[in-house]
Structure 1
Amino acid sequence: MNLDSDALAQLLRYEMPYGKYQGRVLADLPGHYLGWFAREGFPAGQLGALLALMYELDHNNLRSLLDPLRPAPRYPTQRKPR
């Protein structure tokens, strides 16, 4: 997968379709899970390419690149009591 302008945003939208972390967006998968795919082999297609990209970001401590792209929380923040 070429690193285009949409690739990082896709990591925040694409959900893991199977396994222990089914339904979790790829950007939120734990590093050990990504490492397992790196050792055992990434799946074919877009999923594998995105998992490989996320592994590289995690392995090189670059997860923070995704922070500005994350959507704002949907719930209101709690206010401190007076």
Structure 2
Amino acid sequence: MDLVTKRMPFGKYKGKLLCDIPEHYLVWMHGQGFPEGKLGMWLHTLYEIRLNGLEDILQQLKKLKQ
């Protein structure tokens, strides 16, 4: 659920829901290295979801959140 409720705490997409961060930013961050801790884990998970075409998972989580 954190992927659709937590917001990016810094950078170009500060304040944006993690699940709404564009794929190109996640790809860039993958190349730079994800941050430590939970945020890095969430961003890496989003990267893998997008890389493998599993965005349906995010849509289902968003529906559950409502």
Check whether TM > 0.5. yes
Structure 1 gaps of 5+ residues are: 1-8, 73-82
Q: Does 1:48 align with 2:40?
A: yes
Q: Write out per-residue CA displacement over residues 43-68 of structure 1, whole angstroms, 9 at most, x where no aligned residue.
A: 00000000000000011111111112
> How far off is 1:12 after superposition?
0.3
Q: Does 1:23 align with 2:19?
A: no
How many residue pairs get aligned? The number is: 64
Q: In the alignment, which of 26, 32, 50 is matched to residue 24 of structure 2?
A: 32
Q: Does 1:64 align with 2:56?
A: yes
- TM-score, normalised on structure 2? 0.90
Whichever of the two has the greater Rg, that structure is: 1
> How many percent of aligned residue pairs carry the same amino acid?
42
Q: In the alignment, which of 12, 29, 34 is matched to residue 4 of structure 2?
A: 12
RMSD: 0.9
Partner of 1:80: none
Higher percent of residues as helix: 2
Structure 2 gaps of 5+ residues are: none
- TM-score, normalised on structure 1? 0.74
